[in-house]
Amino acid sequence: MLGLQPDARSLTLKLDPRKVPGLTGSHRSHLLGRGMTFAEHRPYQAGDDIRHIDWRVSARSQHTYSKVFQEETQQPVELLVDQRSTMYFGSGDKFKSVLAAELAALLTWAGLSNNDRVGGLVFDDISHQHVKPAQHKRQTVRLFDVIDKFNGKLCQQRGSARASAASSLNSALDEITRLSRPGTLCLLVSDFEGLLDELPRADSTSDSAGSRAPALSSEQILFRLRRHNQIFAFLVYDPLELALPGPSLELCNSSGEQLALPERQAALDEINLALQERHEAKIRKLEALKCIVVPIATTEAPAEVLRSISNRSGAR
C-alpha cells in the first residue's frame, strides 16, 4: 500500500466546499473572512480591519475598499474499509478484499496530498478497529498496518462463527457515524452485503435502563451519517457475482466445497438476472440516501477509476 503513493499523485476528489464548513486547511470555504486566498473587493464597512484596505483600488475609485479573503478548510476524511468474509472472493487477478485495500491506500494518499487529515475504520465479520484522522505519515502507516492485519485474518477465519452480513455492516456504519464529526468526507469501501437484508430479530441495542430496542437499519444509519457529511460509496464487486458462467466451469466456495450450477440455460439466466437486480438495488438504495456511488470491479484498475471521477461527482 505504501508503494501506491506515486499512483495517487494525480488523484483528487474536487468536492463542493459547502459540504465541509468551519474548518481550516486546503479546501476553500464559502465562509468569508480573514484567510489565505483573496476573494473580492467590497466597500469599506465600519469595523473592517484597516490592514485589509486596498489603498491602490481605493485611490483609483476615490472610495475606500477592503479586501475579502476566502478561508481555507482542512477536510477530515474517514475511510470505512470492508474486510469481511464476503470480500474474500475473486474470479480474476485479485480478491475484493485486496481491491478494497488498494482503494483505501489510494484514497489515503490522495487525501494527504490535499493536506487533509485521513483516518479510517477497518472491520470484519465480528470486530473493527479505528485509526484517528491525522496528517502525518506515521498515522498513515498505522492505518495500512490495520488494513493488512484484517486482510491477513480472512484466510484464517474460514468456517468460523460470524455475525450476519447486515449486523456486521450496520455495526461498522454505526461506529463510523459516531466517530465522524460534521463536515467529514466519508469514503465507504465495501461490497455492501447486508445492505438489502433485514436484521436478525435478536439484533437490538440496550438503553440505560437495560431494556431492549430494535437496532437501526442501514438506511437509518446512513441517513444520520449523510445529514452532516458527504459520502462516497465505493461498491466493490466481482464480475462473477453478476453473471455466473455455464455449468462447464467448476466453482468452489470459501470452504473449498464445489458448487453445483444449473445445467439448463434458462435457469442460469434467471439466477443471473436476480444477481444483477440485487447489485442494482444496492446502487439505488445508496443513491436514494444521497451517496455518490462508484461501482468498481475486481477487474478494473482502481487508480484509473479514481482518476475518472476526480473531476465530476462532487466537483465544483
Residues 11-63: pLDDT tens digits? 665 544 444 344 345 555 544 444 356 778 889 888 788 888 999 999 999 99
What radius of gyration do the chain's Cα atoms show? 24
**What is the spatial distance between Cα 111 and Cα 75, in angstroms, rounded to a whole number?**
9
**What is the spatial distance between Cα 72 and Cα 26, in angstroms, rounded to a whole number?**
5
For residue 111, give the nearest of 71, 79, 142 by alpha carbon.
79
Give the pLDDT of residue 22: 41
Task: Evaluate if residue 250 carries a pLDDT over 70.
Answer: no
Helices (H), the chain: 55-61, 96-113, 137-153, 165-179, 218-228, 265-288, 302-309
- Residue pair 166/198 in contact (Cβ under 8 Å)? The answer is yes
β-strands 204-206, 212-214: how paired?
Answer: antiparallel
Residues 255-310: pLDDT tens digits? 556 666 666 777 778 888 999 999 999 999 999 998 989 999 999 999 888 887 76
Cβ neighbours of residue 115 under 8 Å, at least 6 residues apart?
A: 25, 26, 74, 135
**What is the spatial distance between Cα 231 and Cα 280, in angstroms, rounded to a whole number?**
18
Q: What is the mean pLDDT of residues 111-135?
A: 92
